Every structure is written in C-alpha cells, then in structure tokens.
Amino acid sequence: MSFLSNLFKKEDKSVLGVDIGSSSLKVVQLRKEGGKAVLETYGELALGPYGGSEVGQATNLSAEQITETLKDLLREAKVTTTNCGVSIPFARSLLTLVRLPYRKDPKEQRTVIELEARKYIPVPVSEVQLDWFVVPEAEPAQFSEEESSRDAASKGETIEVLLVAVHNDELSLLQSIVAGAGLTASFYEIEIFSTIRAVVEDPVKPVMVMDVGAASTKTYVVEHGVVALSHAISAGSQDITRAISVSGNLSIARAEALKKEEGIRGAGALGNPELVFSRIFSEARRVLMQYETTHKKSVTSIVFTGGGGVTKELGTYAKEVFSIDVRVADPFAKTEAPAFMRQVLEEIGPEFAVAVGLALRKLREI
Ligand SMILES: Nc1ncnc2c1ncn2[C@@H]1O[C@H](COP(=O)(O)OP(=O)(O)OP(=O)(O)O)[C@@H](O)[C@H]1O
Ligand SMILES: [Mg+2]
C-alpha cells in the first residue's frame, strides 16, 4: 500500500445500533453515503438458548452471558464496525413529566430543574445520571381551552420538563457488556428515544407507541417528539407462546413456531392469541384515556414496534379495538436497501425499531 493511499485511507463511515432486549439482542449497521443512511447489515440473536430457556422467552442473564451472545451476533451478522450507540431498557429508567418554575437564565433554570428532580427520583441523585428535555409549548391545539391554559402557563412562568434518570449500576452493566464485546459506545439512550427517531413520523401530534416485547409491552404517548406518558404492561408475546403451549400440549419451541406462522387469529382454538392482546389493549386504552383526560388532547394514531408487533394480522385486530389510525412500524424505510430486500425488511422491521433509531443517531456523529 502506498503512502498516498494510506493518507487518503477511507475513514470508517459505518455505525452500529445495539439493542439489548430481555429476550434477544439486535444490531443494525448503517453507513452514510451522500447524506443517506445505507443499510449494511442487521441481525438478531435470541438470549433464551444462552440461559437455559427458549427462543422468544424473556431472560435474566449475567453480563458475561450477554457479552458472549453479543460477540456471536456480531460475528454472525458480519458486523464490521465497533462504533456504536446502545439502548437502555425502559424498565431500568425513570421518565417523569413535571411542571416547574420558568427561569430566563439557563444556569438558574438548570439549578431549578436539578433541585426539583430530587422530589421525583426515588434514589439519591448522586446514584443516577440525570437528563431532561423542555417540552415546546407552541403547537396547533385541538382543544382551544387547552391552548389558552398552555399560553397562560408559559406566561405564568412555568415550563413542562421531561425528567430522565438512569441508575449508574445499569450504565456500568451496559458498559461492561459493550467493552467485553470489543465495541466502543459514544452514547447510551433509553430505548423509547431511539424508537421515536425510527418510527414516529409526525412528532407534533400525540401518537401512542406500543412496543410489544417478550415479557412486557411498553406504551408511550409521544408529543412533540417528547414522551408525555409512559407505562409498562406486564404481558407480552411470550404469554401467547405459553398459552398455545399449554392449550395444545406442545413444547415452547413448537408453540413459538406456531405463533409466528399463524398470527393473531390463526392459532384459533390454541391459546387464543387474541385474548392476550385484548388484555394488553385494555390496559393500553386506560393509558391512552389517562393521557387524553389530563392533556385534553386526542391521540391520533398507534404505532406498533417490538417482536410482538410482527404478529400477523395484529394491525387489523388493533384497528377493530381502537377506532383510530393503526400502523405497524417500518423503521427500515428510513434506510436505503436493495429493492429485493424490502418485503422482508418491512415484515421484520418492528423488531428492529430500537436498533435502527440508535444507528440513525450514531450516523449524525459522522
Ligand atoms: N413473527 C412473529 N410473530 C409473533 N411474535 C413474534 C414474531 N417474531 C418475534 N415475536 C415475539 O416477539 C417477542 C420478542 O420481541 P422483542 O424482540 O421486541 O423483545 P425484547 O426486545 O427482547 O424484549 P423487551 O424489549 O421487552 O426487553 C418474543 O416473545 C417473540 O416470540
Ligand atoms: Mg425490546
């Protein structure tokens, strides 16, 4: 290799999003090319088999076991970069929307927020990483009453702030996994923020995101790109597998395969997947109504993400239950990929929403 080619050696323009879920790890590698995000590779590896359980079931593995799985995944997916962003599970974070006194001076504002945050965080502030976002006030209001109260609020010298806290222990755990797998992370981000970047199109209107994972379903109402309300429902796609397994006297592995083949109605007599979803949906509806009552605004649509979001005919069923616009997320639509891959990417997309969102943020660093 000549000196010149060394001198102009192409810098690494690839980045990686790493989503550490409870049932599986996902990675998405993107490259920046002419201002576009080109999909280079992606992959998923179930954690269950590494911890004595099955594919599709939530696990509670040690950092070492997760590191080993991640190394295998990086190899299998032929990942070529070490530069990444990593997700923080919603369950390990605290998100609270609060109204606080407004201060013109940014430094004073910071002090007010930090002092007030102590009231909302159940552990000493020194044990957490604290972050916040000021919610923008201007918006096309759907309820004029709300508009005037918001105006009054800003004139009345208060602001709405989203407080975000993550325990230091959780960050150390993630850092050890990342280092163990030979990666370098420039940021750790709570999964919902990655998801919003990847799937919420119009951040101005209130949208409900439903991330259907293995053991839990996370629901968020997103407004102005900010999480106005968040809630975890303790039921997820693994409950469907278990129900099919019990009612059909089948192994978990067989039930898992059947669930994927047949979708929400197909397994019919077996386990009745609709029943699990109707339980999840009725709790989600309460979250939605709580938002609508307190914020006096309607949620205009629902977006599904997570592996459970891949369930066949889920969208159709959800449309019947909630009579608003329902969409199954297509995060890969934000990336450039060969046309022949489009259909597959669209199908599996919901599962990769977090990893795509992380990679998109990481791309901005280039
Ligand atoms: N095609 C499919 N049809 C139905 N369910 C599916 C399909 N693909 C995956 N799942 C289910 O999705 C679940 C995993 O979803 P996901 O990968 O989003 O979870 P996770 O990120 O590991 O969990 P969490 O985010 O709650 O920690 C599993 O229970 C799996 O069985
Ligand atoms: Mg997940």
Which tens digit of pLDDT belongs to each residue from 224-257?
878 999 999 999 999 999 999 998 899 999 999 9
Residues 70-85 have a mean pLDDT of 98
- Is the C-alpha dihedral spanning 130, 136, 137, 140 positive or negative? negative
What per-residue confidence (pLDDT) applies to 225? 77
What per-residue confidence (pLDDT) applies to 277? 94
Instruction: Look up residue 278 and give its amino acid.
Output: S
129 closest CA partner among 97, 164, 160, 100:
164
Work out which ligand 1 atom sits closest to the CA atom of 47. 22
What per-residue confidence (pLDDT) applies to 345? 98
Structure tokens belonging to residue 25: 């790890």
What per-residue confidence (pLDDT) applies to 226? 83
What per-residue confidence (pLDDT) applies to 326? 97
**Percent residues over pLDDT 70 in the chain:** 90
What per-residue confidence (pLDDT) applies to 148? 42
Q: Domain residue spans in the chain? A: 92-165
Instruction: Out of 237, 258, 262, give the residue to mutate to test ligand 1, the one with the largest number of ligand atoms within 8 Å of its CB.
Output: 237
Q: Which residues pair with 31 in a beta bridge?
A: 14, 38
Q: How far is the CA of 22 from the centre of ligand 2 (A)?
A: 7
Distance CA 248, CA 122 (A): 44
Backbone angles phi, psi at 311, to 5 degrees: -45, 130
Residues 6+ apart with CB under 8 A from 265: 273, 274, 313, 317
Structure tokens belonging to residue 34: 């002419």
pTM comes to 0.91
Parallel, antiparallel or unpaired: strands 36-46 and 93-101 = unpaired
Structure tokens belonging to residue 328: 């199954």
158 closest CA partner among 148, 150, 166:
150
Max CA pair span of the chain: 70
**Percent residues over pLDDT 90 in the chain:** 76
Distance CA 195, CA 26 (A): 13
What per-residue confidence (pLDDT) applies to 269? 57
Distance CA 266, CA 261 (A): 8
Residue 140: pLDDT band with limits 50, 70, 90: very low
Q: How far is the CA of 112 from the centre of ligand 2 (A)?
A: 34
Per DSSP, the chain holds a count of helices (H) and strands (E) of 12, 13
Residues 68-78 have a mean pLDDT of 98
What per-residue confidence (pLDDT) applies to 203? 63
Residue 10 has pLDDT above 80, yes or no: no
Residue 338: pLDDT band with limits 50, 70, 90: very high
Q: Residue with the nearest Cα to atom 1 of ligand 1?
A: 260
Q: Residue with the nearest Cα to atom 8 of ligand 1?
A: 307
Q: Residue with the nearest Cα to atom 28 of ligand 1?
A: 56
Residues 6+ apart with CB under 8 A from 47: 21, 22, 23, 24, 25, 59, 61, 65, 66, 69
Residues 65-82 have a mean pLDDT of 98
Cβ of 325: how many Cβ atoms within 10 Å? 12
Work out which ligand 1 atom sits closest to the CA atom of 55. 31
Tens digit of pLDDT for each residue in 197-224? 999 986 678 999 999 999 999 999 998 8
Residue 137 has pLDDT above 80, yes or no: no
What per-residue confidence (pLDDT) applies to 155? 55
Residues 333-341 have a mean pLDDT of 97
Residue 60 has pLDDT above 80, yes or no: yes
Contact by Cβ (8 Å): 178, 185: yes
Residue carrying structure tokens 């222990």: 169
Instruction: Out of 351, 352, 356, give the residue to mutate to test ligand 1, the one with the largest number of ligand atoms within 8 Å of its CB.
Output: 351
Residue 85 has pLDDT above 50, yes or no: yes
Residue carrying structure tokens 């992606």: 42
Structure tokens belonging to residue 364: 């901005």
Work out which ligand 1 atom sits closest to the CA atom of 256. 31
Instruction: Look up residue 217 and give its amino acid.
Output: T
Instruction: Out of 189, 260, 262, 347, give the residue to mutate to test ligand 1, the one with the largest number of ligand atoms within 8 Å of its CB.
Output: 260
DSSP 8-state class, residue 114: H
Q: What CATH class has 92-165? A: alpha beta
77 closest CA partner among 32, 43, 119:
43
Tens digit of pLDDT for each residue in 145-177? 444 444 444 456 899 999 999 999 999 999 999
Mean pLDDT, all residues of the chain: 90
Residue 187 has pLDDT above 70, yes or no: yes
What per-residue confidence (pLDDT) applies to 273? 83
Lining ligand 1 with CB less than 6 A are 21-24, 56, 89, 213-216, 237-238, 241, 256, 259-260, 306-308, 310-311, 351
Dump the DSSP string for 281-321.
HHHHHHHHHHHHHHHT----EEEEESGGGGSTTHHHHHHHH
166 closest CA partner among 127, 111, 117:
127
Distance CA 319, CA 352 (A): 23
CA atoms within 13 A on the CB side of 34: 2
Residues 323-348 have a mean pLDDT of 96
Residue 141: pLDDT band with limits 50, 70, 90: very low
Distance CA 15, CA 30 (A): 5
Residue 310 has pLDDT above 80, yes or no: yes
